[in-house]
Chain A
């Protein structure tokens, strides 16, 4: 069936370093991929989304490229800040899904140290 896998439960980095959070997915349909971010005690919010193969999508310094050949949509940032500490979810909406239903990965907690 359709699924999303985020391999890292927790990523701890020092401010200023680059980060990549992994996201792979499984579906037999055309995929729409999302990254949602949830800061402590806040609601999840959309960070970025894509459905175009091999095209980089950017928002708020974060970027991701959907690679259908490897079923991946990794989230990257070149230099993390303290404010980037949050829970990051990758989500999939297969083309066959109606009513906008999403399949979420397990989430990756990003913790940034000074």
Chain B
């Protein structure tokens, strides 16, 4: 079965600090995604990537950067963390970019910015 792991599973950060969230997949999938989950908003796409060394902006990219150094790894970077970035972050992967493709999610990272 597909395997997507995330680290850390939870983190407390200070306002203005730098935060890096990591995602690793062993599915041999080309596509990877970062979402944030807020109560009442469902999941919203931040950044995604369909090939190593390339990333694309999603629907809410402001305040976030992404890095895809290899097919297996995809990081989300908050250069200057803010209170509004407190949320649960999910990474996902899929084997193709078709509209019917299933996405496989990691367990999530709970980020609290104080």
Which of A's residues lie within 8 Å of B, judged by CB?
Answer: 4, 6, 9, 32, 41-46, 49, 51, 89, 91, 93-95, 97-102, 104-107
Q: Is the CB of A100 within 8 A of B31?
A: yes
> Contacts of B103 on A, CB cut-off 8 Å?
46, 100, 102
**How many Å lie between the Cα of A44 and that of B98 in the bound state?**
19
Which of B's residues lie within 8 Å of A, judged by CB?
Answer: 4, 31, 33, 35, 40-45, 48, 50, 56, 58, 90, 94, 96-103, 105-108
**Chain B, Cβ-Cβ closest to A89:** B42
**How many Å lie between the Cα of A95 and that of B97 in the bound state?**
11
Q: Which of B4, B33, B42, B101 is the one whose CB lies under 8 Å from A106?
A: B42
**How many Å lie between the Cα of A94 and that of B99 in the bound state?**
7
Closest chain-B Cβ to A9's Cβ sits at a distance in Å of 7
Closest chain-A Cβ to B92's Cβ sits at a distance in Å of 8
Other than the known A89-B42, A97-B99, A102-B103, what 15 A-B pairs have Cβ atoms closer than 8 Å? A32-B100, A41-B107, A42-B107, A43-B108, A45-B105, A49-B100, A98-B97, A100-B31, A100-B98, A101-B33, A101-B45, A102-B43, A104-B42, A104-B43, A106-B40
Query: Which secondary structure characterizes the binding site on chain A?
Result: loop
> Contacts of B42 on A, CB cut-off 8 Å?
4, 6, 89, 104-107
Closest chain-A Cβ to B66's Cβ sits at a distance in Å of 13
> Contacts of A101 on B, CB cut-off 8 Å?
33, 45, 48, 58
> Contacts of A99 on B, CB cut-off 8 Å?
31, 48, 50, 56, 97
Question: Which 10 pairs across A and B sit closest by C-beta, in order of nearness?
Answer: A104-B42, A43-B105, A93-B99, A99-B97, A104-B43, A100-B97, A32-B99, A100-B101, A106-B42, A44-B105
**How many Å lie between the Cα of A42 and that of B107 in the bound state?**
6
